[in-house]
């Protein structure tokens, strides 16, 4: 990522490493209080090749999109009668599938350089 500074200088800001992406994902999930299933391996997810060029903002969009996918799934189950309102909280955690669906929709906002 190249960004112009106050004096017209450009600074190179590299994309986060896999470890940094993992830390960013954990921080975003914790700060937004998104429940994530204990079966989701965020470290392995952050190491995927598809995540290589995602910025911190892209990762924030990914977490939001995963939450949206999870909510849509829960609402569909609720509408179909497969889920009751009382059990909604018990099954509303984000699964790996939700992150994968979100990843298919989120594209890097910066070019690799």
What's the pLDDT at 113? 57
What's the pLDDT at 64? 95
* Position 95 confidence tier, pLDDT thresholds 50, 70, 90: very high
Q: Mean pLDDT across the stretch 55-76?
A: 92
Kindly tell me if the per-residue pLDDT of 1 is higher than 60. no
Q: Mean pLDDT across the stretch 46-74?
A: 94
Kindly tell me if the per-residue pLDDT of 55 is higher than 70. yes
Going from the N-terminus, what domains does the chain have, and what CATH number goes with each? 17-105 (1.10.8.60)
The whole-angstrom separation of Cα 35 and Cα 91 is 10
The whole-angstrom separation of Cα 32 and Cα 28 is 6
């Amino acid at each position: 990522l190249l960004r112009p500074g106050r004096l017209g200088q450009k600074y190179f800001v590299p994309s986060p490493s896999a470890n940094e992406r993992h830390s960013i994902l954990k921080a975003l999930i914790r700060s937004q209080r998104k429940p994530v299933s204990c079966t989701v391996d965020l470290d392995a997810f952050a190491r995927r090749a598809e995540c290589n060029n995602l910025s911190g903002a892209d990762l924030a969009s990914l977490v939001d999109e995963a939450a949206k996918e999870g909510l849509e799934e829960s609402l569909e189950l609720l509408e179909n009668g497969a889920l009751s309102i009382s059990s909604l909280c018990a099954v509303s955690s984000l699964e790996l599938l939700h992150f994968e669906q979100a990843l298919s929709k989120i594209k890097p906002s910066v070019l690799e350089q």
